[in-house]
Chain A
Amino acid sequence: MHPARVILLAGLALAPGAWFTTTRRPVAAQQARDSGPIEITTDTPEYCLYLRDRVHDLVHLAASPPPKEVTDLSTEGQRMCDQGQTRGGIMRLRRALILMIHNSGTTQR
């Protein structure tokens, strides 16, 4: 086949690929112009406290004492929150919560 035609076909074959990868993107926001970023409320010190309370609730409700891990995690988490490392603290508290849920056998959904 004529080389020019081969190249043309190859180029055309690329076009749908290029279209697929570049156009199907989420609709970009005008948001930046309008109102700026929205705050996520689960990354705040208040949420830390909320999670800590939830963990304590489960601990009190539990039949047996909580595993050491749970205690460690929640203490660590609270400490980090107090020190301002909010997201790290929240993550540990969440882990503690999940452990407690699984431990106690209740499936809280």
Chain B
Amino acid sequence: MIDRTLFRSAGFRFGAIYALLLAISATALALFLWWATAGLLDRQTEAAINADAQDLSERWAEGGLASLIVTIEGRLAQNIDDDAIYFLADRSMRRVAGNLERWPSHVTTPGTLYELQVMRAGMRSLANVQRFDLPGGFHLLIGRDVQAMAQLRRLLTDALLWAIVVVVLMATVGALVVRNLFRRTLANISATATAIAAGDFARRVKLTGRGDEFDQIAEVINDMLERIGRLMDGVRQVSNAIAHDLRTPITRARTRLEDAALHADTPEALRAAIERATTDLDGIVAVFQALLRISEIEAGSRRSSFTRIDIAPLLAQVEELYGPLAEERGISLVARTAAEVPAYGDKALIQQAVANLLDNAVKFSLPGGTVRLNASVAGRVEVAVSDQGPGIPASERVKATDRFYRGETARSTPGSGLGLSLVAAVAHLHGGELRLEDNAPGLRAVLVLPIPEEAEARPAALQPKHDFI
């Protein structure tokens, strides 16, 4: 019972293909050899017979029957190789000249090569003969002894058949070797995959160091695993954050409603409680929206719609949006951007990222402070938003881009703490980064993006060089 899975095995297929190709090549070689040797001999015999026939027919044409008979006998007398066969017969197939005892009854059709068994001095032999019909009712048989050739052919055939058998054996062995080679190379990858499927996410595929196609596959798989690991970390983090930071507003909303149900004694009080609860719910929805947005950005699918854009007008737009608000709060908003800021990416995402930064800057600035928006292109695109607010202490800057991070100083201001997280996600999606620096005083947030030429050249799927959380 042949196991079906055997045929589905790619290793078996590779091995089988190798074996078949080898067998076919060997067979082709054998056939060619056979054709070149035994086949050649056959053709030579036929050619000799035909040349003979040509000659003899000229004799016949020149000198008639008598001349032909003399020629035949002369040829036989000088036939050192002792391989010529002639038989000249009359109308009734009686012998007129030649060295056969009688006409072979089976040789009936002229122009066809026949095999003829002959007896030479008590030994059997084999000849190839051909019949020629002459005018006047005479029949001429011309042939050559091919016993030696027949033996050679038998020898050759046997040898080649055995050779093919040997080749088939070698092919089978070779096929097994190829299959095992194949298996061994894949075993590494499949063992890693199995371990990962069983839950060990730290496993990676081992590279052989040869840099060949299998190593390339292994590298891609490892990169994918890295990414999956990071995404899962992100998910875990979000779950924790949701559990922690979202329960608070949800609990608050619930408490207020419960309190109102129990204690509100006027319709106005009830209405007020309901309105507050609605606002709380809206706040929670906004947080979820932002979380979804960040996840969508991190998943990377937006990257497929990236194009070359100039973000200078976009920056002007955002600056203009926040201008009045800054002025209202006594904050001076100063923008200095290059006339053209080329980038490669998604306009809406970059717009939201810069707006988030400006929003934060204006939110945390104190009256009299200055918020600066700078954009420059020098090897990389840098959009910097700086404020003179409380800033973020150096020790917390790494965590600042975590979801739901809110510094101690920010507890009192509205906001979900997702702003920087989103900006970081957008930066990473574009192949860049978000740098947080000390503005002495205040915070300087720099959104760094690669220039279009660089960004377009990088392969899409696995860009991020950083662990984003």
**Residues of A bordering B, CB below 8 Å:** 3-4, 6-7, 10-11, 13-14, 17-18, 20-21, 24-32, 34-44, 51, 54, 86-87, 90-91, 94-95, 97-98, 101, 108-109
Contacts and interface: CB of A to CB of B under 8 A. Distances in A.
B274 interface: no
B100 A97 contact: no
Contacts of A94: 77-80, 82
Given A91-B82, A101-B78, A26 B101 contact: no
Contact of B82 (A10, A87, A97): A87
Contacts of B210: none
Contacts of A26: 42, 113-115, 128
A51 to B, nearest CB: 6
B32 A17 contact: yes
A11 B80 contact: no
Given A27-B112, A94-B78, A109-B70, 7 more contacts: A21-B31, A21-B34, A34-B106, A35-B105, A37-B118, A37-B119, A38-B101
Interface string B22-33: 001101100110
B189 interface: no
A30 B193 CA distance: 70
Which secondary structure characterizes the binding site on chain B?
mixed
A105 B128 CA distance: 34
Contacts of B17: 3-4, 7
A97 B80 CA distance: 10
A26 B114 CA distance: 5
A54 B74 CA distance: 10
How many interface residues does chain B have, given as a range? 35 or more
Interface of B: 17, 20-21, 24-25, 27-28, 31-32, 34-35, 39, 42, 70-71, 74, 76-80, 82, 85, 98-102, 104-106, 112-121, 124-125, 128
A38 B78 contact: no
Contacts of A108: 74
A86 B121 contact: yes
Contacts of B71: 109
B129 to A, nearest CB: 8
A54 B114 CA distance: 33
Given A17-B28, A51-B77, A38 B115 contact: no
